Structure 1
Amino acid sequence: MTAPVGALAGFWTRLSPRERNLLALLVMVFFAMAIGVLFFLRGDSFIASEDRISDLRRGIQLMHTKGAVYQEKLKEKAEREAMIANDPIEFAIILEQATKATLEEKSTSNEEEKPPLELGEGLVKRIYSFELRRVTLEELTKFLQKVEDQPGHIVFAERIKVRSPSAVEDRINVEIDLATWEMKRDEEERDKDEEDE
């Protein structure tokens, strides 16, 4: 135990006063830097803790003050979901009715229902494509209003491609994709509805 201390004392005595002062200054700078780094690291952890605490406080405040708003938004969401029909819509019947009401002698052609798209949580998107030939813009507008105005269903023209056969005529050829959304019903619900009928 005394040997290392003696060696250190011997080392110290061999140094000149200038070297001793520089070595003492170096040791003090090292300790000052170490303490500064510790305070810096500790300060970062305190800041992170304060941020987490302020986030929690803000969340608690929102729960107390904005909880009613959240409940209201949930009700609005439920109302929107209630607007989405459970029973499938018959595009062919709707198009026939709209054609008779607005287009007189004209009819739709190249009708095709595309495969339904599963969007998750029981929501299904259906697309129905068809063409109208030699209709005026006014007839097209009335026809689309009639088709899209379906009580209990959300139906709208997702894609409309308009072509004019000639620059002279006011008649146009139109390709239309109608889209609707439906809630997919469970088989148990369908069986129950069939039993009720």
Structure 2
Amino acid sequence: RDELVAVFDSDNGALLGLVAGSGLGPLRTGAIGGVAINALAREDAVTLALVGTGKQARTQLQAACEVRSFETIRAHSRNASRCEAFCREMSMTTGVEIQPTTSAKDAVAEADVVICSTISDTPVLETDWISPGTHVQNVGPKFQDSCELPRELFESADVLVTDAPAQLADYGDRFLVAGTPHIDRIVSLGNVI
């Protein structure tokens, strides 16, 4: 899908231009992911797991590798051939061998950083698969009736961070932790950095 991004002058608010296309959105989201990993993941993080191998996974991985030196990277997708192709391509891009796994559980086992970037409307992993101290990023859906991560993972997290508080406000009662005490724990990434 094509996107339209307006670029404004930061001094006077004048419209400088419009950028149209489908590549900018994943790059922007990936960059935000890199900022989040840099600010929130442990400094000693060396193992990265990816669940989902689409456009968003590519840019998330590239940004993650800019802010941390991962020694081990594992990836899982429900489509094994797509996952293997992703691992080959992105191993060359990142300079780190990316290992395809046959299950999400194997991908996230003992990972320091987990990036979920699927379109699944049901959880693709379980809370008890995640080791204590792991940084988990959720790129996909975050609704009560559609979320790639289990609600319990949000509830057990030490900190909940969003890059877009206004977007969460627009979600209203549909947001995964709306109506729970956890909604008040969410902080803006801008306030963290």
Check whether TM > 0.5: no
Normalized per residue, the structure richer in helix is 1
Q: TM-score range by the shorter chain?
A: under 0.3
Q: TM-score, normalised by structure 2?
A: 0.21
Larger Rg, first or second structure (1 or 2): 1
